[in-house]
Amino acid sequence: MENVIGLADCNSFYASCERALRPDLAGKPLVVLSNNDTMVVAASPEAKALGIGLGEPLFRVQRIIKTHGGAFFSSNYTLYADLSQRVMEVLKRYVMRMEVYSIDEAFLCLSEFSDLDLPSYASSMREAVREEVGIPLSVGIGGTKTLAKAAVKAAKKSSGGVFDIRGQEEAVLAKLPVEDIWGIGRQYGRLLRRQGVDTALGFMRLPERWVLKHMTVDGFRTQQELKGFPCLSLQEARPPRKELVVSRGFGRVTERAEEIEEALCEYASLAARRLRREELVAREISAFIMTSPFRPGPQYVGIKSARFPERSASTVAFIRAMRSLLSGMYRPGYPYRKAGVILSDLGDCSVIQGNLFVSPAERREQQLLRAVDHLNDKYGTEVVRFGAVGLTQPWRMRREALSPHATTRWEELPQVNAS
DNA sequence: TCTGGGGTCCTAGGACCC
DNA sequence: TCTGGGGTCCTAGGACCC
């Protein structure tokens, strides 16, 4: 059977989510900001047309948005995750096998349908997502994942939002800039340009030996995929998570150890909660603190790790670890900008290996934490917290333009007024 | 240009072993 | 010409993705 892959990709996903709840902003430029409201991470087509690019700092776009009657939003990941799920549910109805690749993308196995008119099949899928969730979608179709990725770029430019690259691969790849290939980033892009390779077609035609030598097997696989030989299979089941990171920049820099400790304890609590939600436990915990590499002046990065005698998902244990890790790496006199917690060596909580040195008290603690999780889930926000995370949290990130959690919290349901 | 937060995989090189 | 060779495990760093 012919191998056919579809890639369904939501257009300007975060911006489209905000717009789905604010129909009054139809046709207006709209941007979503990164944490701390620092820079643009998503922009609607209208915003892009005004020259607003991703990565642009807020202050530079604020005026443009205002004068055009648009809006900007702090990122609201709860909302995006919820709408993402709804999009995926719709897509699932159209295929037997798919891979949820990211919050706004899914690879679809279309091989079984290759005798259908695939572009029109994709169009009806696209319509359904727009109708039922209110999110615009593009679909690329090709013989491999990498070709489907190239196809979706063309789909975004076409009016119908669907593009089938099959039968015209070389013509399309001849126009695709080499760094726009999925799997070729900035570094390899530069390397290839230095070699005189400017397009995807040029890359495809490079000697395989050269690609293997300079770009590892990853680059080689990308090249094979462009030639139409599938190397990347559809990952229907999510492989088990290996690591969990919670890190954020502070709302302002700080030199104070007490503030950094609060932040680390807060991140550790968040990490613990996510870990429990995914029914995982961690053997190792690390913390890091750093100054801003983008500011002049002395720099410092500290990172320390600790291992637990038994894998754990305990907020109490994690907070305790933060205190000792921080005292082992904190250096006074530096303007710290960011900190984070990394949980690694993860395992499934059901196969936790018993250890003689863990007390029954610690096991009882797990029950307490489950109760806390339950309360926090039920009341929608962190109603029960540990004292270590602080009360005023002066280091907390800025999110001044947050949209309501309209689809996940009853109190924040949008109101509709009939007139 | 100015640079957020959360991930994964691959490779080289060192330590260690027989 | 040099030379011990082969294996495993771990870590750091680099590359990529959204």
pLDDT tens digits along A174-203: 999 999 999 999 999 999 999 999 999 999
Are A260 and A396 spatial neighbours (Cβ–Cβ below 8 Å)? no
Query: Which residues, other chains included, contact A388 with Cβ-Cβ below 8 Å and sequence gap of 6+?
Result: A261, A262, A265, A319, A322
Q: What pLDDT score was predicted for residue A413?
A: 66
- Band of pLDDT at residue A354, cut at 50, 70 and 90: low
Distance A103 CA to C18 C1' (A): 8
Give dist(CA A84, CA A99) in Å, integer.
13
Q: DSSP for A94-116, please give it.
A: T-S-EEEEETTEEEEE-GGGTTS
Q: What pLDDT score was predicted for residue A294?
A: 80
The structure tokens listed for A302 are: 């500290």
Distance A72 CA to C6 C1' (A): 61
Give dist(CA A211, CA A22) in Å, integer.
48
pLDDT for A377 beyond 80: no
| Residue A182, nucleotide of least CA–C1' distance | C17
Give dist(CA A46, CA A39) in Å, integer.
17
The structure tokens listed for A379 are: 């009341």
Average pLDDT in chain A: 89
Q: Residue range A312-322: average pLDDT?
A: 94
pTM, rounded to two decimals: 0.89
Q: What pLDDT score was predicted for residue A251?
A: 87
User: Which chain A residues 54-73 have CB under 7 A to strand B?
Assistant: 55-57
Give dist(CA A20, CA A11) in Å, integer.
12
Of the candidate ranges A10-14, A35-39, A116-120, A157-161, the one whose mean pLDDT is the lowest: A35-39
- Band of pLDDT at residue A59, cut at 50, 70 and 90: confident
Q: What pLDDT score was predicted for residue A362?
A: 66
Q: What pLDDT score was predicted for residue A115?
A: 92
Residues A124-165: tens digit of each pLDDT: 999 999 999 999 999 999 999 999 999 999 999 998 999 999
Q: What pLDDT score was predicted for residue A416?
A: 56
Q: What pLDDT score was predicted for residue A402?
A: 75
Give dist(CA A159, CA A166) in Å, integer.
19
| Residue A103, nucleotide of least CA–C1' distance | C18
| Cα–Cα distance list, A350 to A38, A330, A345 (Å) | 41, 36, 15
Q: What pLDDT score was predicted for residue A212?
A: 93
Residues A250-290: tens digit of each pLDDT: 988 999 999 999 999 999 999 999 999 999 999 999 999 99
Identify the sign of the CA torsion A166, A172, A173, A179: negative
How many residues does this entry show for chain A? 419
Distance A217 CA to B13 C1' (A): 19
Distance A52 CA to C10 C1' (A): 45
Distance A133 CA to C12 C1' (A): 44
Residues A215-252: tens digit of each pLDDT: 999 999 999 999 999 999 999 999 899 999 999 999 88
pLDDT for A419 beyond 50: no
Nearest protein residue, CA measured to C1' of B1:
A56
Q: What pLDDT score was predicted for residue A368?
A: 73
Q: Is the CB of A81 under 7 A from strand B?
A: no
Are A80 and A15 spatial neighbours (Cβ–Cβ below 8 Å)? no
Partners of A190 in the beta sheet? none
- Band of pLDDT at residue A417, cut at 50, 70 and 90: low
Distance A105 CA to C16 C1' (A): 17
Give dist(CA A393, CA A263) in Å, integer.
8
- Band of pLDDT at residue A297, cut at 50, 70 and 90: confident
Partners of A43 in the beta sheet? A31
Q: Is the CB of A296 under 7 A from strand B?
A: no
Q: Is the CB of A220 under 7 A from strand C?
A: no
Give dist(CA A64, CA A248) in Å, integer.
28
Partners of A32 in the beta sheet? A42, A73
Q: Specify the DSSP class assigned to residue A249.
A: E
Are A154 and A129 spatial neighbours (Cβ–Cβ below 8 Å)? no
